Each structure stands twice: as structure tokens, then as C-alpha cells.
Amino acid sequence: MEWTTQNIKWFFQQSPPRQVDETLLKETLDLYFPKMVRLLFLALPVLILVISGMVLTFMIKTVDLKGEWDLFAGPTAQISGKVLNVEKRTGSKGSVTYTYTFEFKPVVRREASDPPVKGACFSGDRLASSGDTVTVEYLPEDPKTSIIRGCRLSPVPLASMAAIPLLTVIILVVPFGMMRYKQRFLQRLMASGVATSGTVQKIKPGPKGAITIEVRYELDGKELTAKTNAGGRKQEKEWLKSIQESGQPVLLLVDPDKPGKIFMVDLLLNSKT
């Protein structure tokens, strides 16, 4: 069915509940998520997956995951060692990482003439200085896997690595969640919303280039005020301004359970002209 301004008005002026047409629902959703925006929402997950995959690949290559796990799971041995050097590095966002180079002689079957085992570890805190004696934790079967107690084996914290997949999932879910929420909201209003007339009181800039519209209307003998959003196109702004200045009434759908939730039907009608 092709929806025109006349049959759209007729449809919404019918008493609820209404049988919502999928084509009309899609056209209404297009007011908030145009085709270009939906394409960006589809492209965004691909881009995010590629970037997060590259970051994780880089981190995995620089992180000794097996060593970190073995030191965590144990069993480990501890012995005194000596700090050879401390290097401080400051990240782009002001984060500080200290790199400690140290040496120690593990309690294993070694010749007395064998050189000390050298290692390196990392921490966000200043734990020691060059020449200090520190406690070294190591794997008895592989002394090269060792850290100064309180440090980590890899430059990248494991928590950061674990956070990347979580953040990726959140970023992927949010755009689709927004569209799904708006679709369900509009579908509910179109099916059971109460039709009433109102007037545009204020128009002001909204989030991300949109327009926030404040409308006043009457429902069940009470005068109410609510806000809704519209696209920020020049033609839309001019049209809304003319409606506000003339005091022309607009058709609204109001949620009977939450009277502050509305849909301005005239936005849909205007898109048809």
C-alpha cells in the first residue's frame, strides 16, 4: 500500500488499537535513521572488528600469555635479585609504565660459574631503583620466566586485553540497540497511541545536529508539554519555524501510559510533500 498524507492522517485518527503496516513503520523509522545512517551502522561493525582485530593481534604478539598464566597459576619460587636498570615511559594520555631489568641466581642445579639469569618486567608504579635488592618470582622449571614481585611480565596489562573484546561488543551492540529500541517505541505508539493536536512551543538545536521540538498539547483534560526530535535538515528547520510562528496545530500520538512520550505525525506528513 502506498501511504499518502491523507490516508496517514486517516489511519492515525482511528481509535486504538491499530494494525501497524510494516511499510508505514519503516517510513516512520526513516525519519530518525535515514538510509545513509543505517549504512553507516552496518559499516561501523566491520570497521570496529578490523581495528580491534589488529590491536589484539599486536598485543598478543607482544604479550607472553603463557608465561603470565604460568606465573599466576604456579607453583613459583622466590629469591632475592638485583635491579639493573629502570626505564620510565609516558603514554600519549599521561599513563606511566616502568620497565625493570633485573638479575638473580635461581635455586636450581646450576654451576657456580653460571651467570645470573636476567629478566625484564613492567609496572605502572615505581617499585624500585637501579641497584636495589628486590624479591624475584620465577618458575623453577623455567627461571627465565620471572618477574619482580608486584610487576607483570608483559608491557600490556591483561585487563586491557580483556577489555578490548568487551568494548568491541558494546560498540557493536549499541547502534543496533538504538534502532531496535526506536522501532519498538514507534510501533507501540502507532498501534496504541492516542491521537491529539498540539502546538510547537520551542525549537532548539539537539544532539548530533538534530532539532529538539517542544510541543504543548492536551490529554484527558490536562495540559502537557513534551519534547521530541527531528532531523537537522535546512528545509525541516524552516518548516518547523513556520509552524511555530503561525501557531498551526500539529497531529501527535501520545503514549496513554506515559503521556510524556510522543510522536509528531506531522514530521511524517512533511516528508511526503
Q: DSSP letter at 207?
A: G
Question: What is the pTM assigned to this prediction?
Answer: 0.61
Q: Could you please state the CATH topology (level 3) that the domain comprising 72-155 is classified under.
A: OB fold (Dihydrolipoamide Acetyltransferase, E2P) (2.40.50)
Instruction: Report pLDDT for 156.
Output: 66
Domain boundaries of the chain, sorted by first residue: 5-16+193-271, 72-155
Instruction: Find, among 202, 175, 238, 191, the residue nearest to 32 by Cα.
Output: 175
Instruction: Report pLDDT for 273.
Output: 80
Instruction: Report pLDDT for 188.
Output: 94
* pLDDT band, very low/low/confident/very high, at 249 (cuts 50, 70, 90): very high
Rounded to 5 degrees, φ, ψ at 264 are -90, 105
Contact 44, 64 (CB under 8 A): no
Instruction: Find, among 183, 192, 182, 252, the residue nearest to 18 by Cα.
Output: 192
Contact 117, 143 (CB under 8 A): yes
Name the burial class of residue 119, with classes exposed (0-12), middle (13-18) and buried (19+) by CB atoms within 10 angstroms of its CB.
buried
Whether 5-16+193-271 shares its CATH topology with 72-155 is answered yes
Residue 110: pLDDT over 70 = no
pLDDT, greater one: 121 or 234: 121
Mean pLDDT of 96-102: 93
Instruction: Find, among 11, 2, 1, the residue nearest to 265 by Cα.
Output: 11
Contact 95, 116 (CB under 8 A): no
What ranges make up the beta strands (E) of the chain? 77-90, 96-104, 117-123, 133-139, 142-148, 194-205, 211-219, 222-230, 250-254, 262-264
* pLDDT band, very low/low/confident/very high, at 52 (cuts 50, 70, 90): confident
pLDDT, greater one: 146 or 168: 146
* pLDDT band, very low/low/confident/very high, at 109 (cuts 50, 70, 90): low
The CATH code of the domain at 5-16+193-271 is: 2.40.50
Give the Cα separation of 227 and 271 in Å (integer): 19
